[in-house]
Structure 1
Amino acid sequence: MSTTQTFHFEDDDLDDDNFEIEGNKLLYMIILFSIIIFLTICFFVYTRCVARSRSATSSVSRISVQLSEPEGLDAATINNLPIKVYKQVNETTTFECSICLGGFEEEEKVKMLPNCSHFYHCECVDKWLITHTSCPICRTQVQVDSPV
Structure 2
Amino acid sequence: MIRDNLALTTFGDAKERMPWVSDTCAVCLSDLEEGDDVRELRNCCHVFHQDCIDRWVDHDHDHHDDHDHNHSTCPLCRSPLVTSSQSLVRPNNEPSWAVDRLLYLFGDDLLP
Bucket of the pairwise TM-score, normalised by the shorter protein: 0.5 to 0.7
2:46 maps to amino acid: H
Rg bigger for which structure?
Answer: 1
Give, in whole Å, the separation in 1 of the partners of 2:11 and 2:53: 15
1:105-124 paired onto structure 2 within 5 Å: 105-124=33-52
Provide the secondary structure at the position in 2 that maps to 1:79: helix
2:39 maps to amino acid: K
Give, in whole Å, the separation in 1 of the partners of 2:26 and 2:49: 9
2:3 maps to amino acid: I
Give, in whole Å, the separation in 2 of the partners of 1:145 and 1:97: 20
Q: 1:107 to 1:143 in 2, by over 3 A?
A: same
Give, in whole Å, the separation in 2 of the partners of 1:99 and 1:133: 14
Runs of 4+ in 1 over 2 A off after TM superposition: none
Provide the secondary structure at the position in 2 that maps to 1:124: helix
Aligned residues: 68
Give, in whole Å, the separation in 2 of the partners of 1:106 and 1:84: 11
Which segments of 5 or more consecutive residues in structure 1 lack a partner in the other structure? 1-75
Q: C-alpha displacement at 1:86, in angstroms?
A: 1.3
Which segments of 5 or more consecutive residues in structure 2 lack a partner in the other structure? 17-21, 61-70, 87-112
Q: C-alpha displacement at 1:145, in angstroms?
A: 4.1
The answer on 1:81 being equivalent to 2:9 is: no
Name the Cα RMSD after superposition: 2.0
1:31-110 paired onto structure 2 within 5 Å: 76-87=1-12, 95-110=23-38
Q: C-alpha displacement at 1:107, in angstroms?
A: 1.6
**Structure 1 equivalent of residue 85 of structure 2:** 146
